[in-house]
Amino acid sequence: VKLLAAAVLAAVSVTGAPPPARVQVGAQEFTFALSRTRVGPGPAIVELVNYGQDTHDLRLQRVGARHVAGTREVPPGDTAELPVTLAPGRYRLWCSIADHAARGMTAALSVR
């Protein structure tokens, strides 16, 4: 068991940083459902999964920041991955297509 533990530790140190956190965002007309609403700071992959019947996208912005990250437009049944580096704070998520955000396609993510 000790040898195995040493091997595992060695493997971790060779590969370096832990894998990025993942947040899945399920899109429907007209909601975003997040797999988690809190995640630690650092690299993350935000995955948009379109369960709906319309095309959607995902915009992500830290409250108070200028930069907006986003996916391409994702047709029904498709997914898109958005690699980001998250700083501590509150993030706003929304769909930028037509009036989808006003119809309810918004969400919040806490990074701490």
Q: Name which of 21 and 34 has its Cβ closer to Cu ion.
A: 34
As measured in angstroms, the least distance from the Cβ of 37 to Cu ion is 19
41-100 residues near Cu ion, rule: CB under 5 A:
56, 95, 97, 100
Q: What is the DSSP string of 77-100?
A: T-EEEEEEEEPSEEEEEE--STTH
- x/- letters, 20..39, toward Cu ion (CB under 5 A): --------------------
Q: Name which of 47 and 111 has its Cβ closer to Cu ion.
A: 47
Q: Which helix (H) or strand (E) holds 2?
A: helix 2-15
As measured in angstroms, the least distance from the Cβ of 101 to Cu ion is 8
Q: Name which of 62 and 100 has its Cβ closer to Cu ion.
A: 100
Instruction: Report the amino acid identity of residue 94.
Output: W
3-state class (DSSP) for residue 13: helix
Q: Name which of 59 and 62 has its Cβ closer to Cu ion.
A: 59
Per residue in 51-77, is it b (16+ CB within 10 Å) or e — as a string?
ebeebbbbbbbbeeeeeebbbeebeee
| Other beta carbons within 10 Å of 91 | 22
# of chain residues touching Cu ion (CB under 5 A): 5
Binding site for Cu ion (CB under 5 A): 56, 95, 97, 100, 105
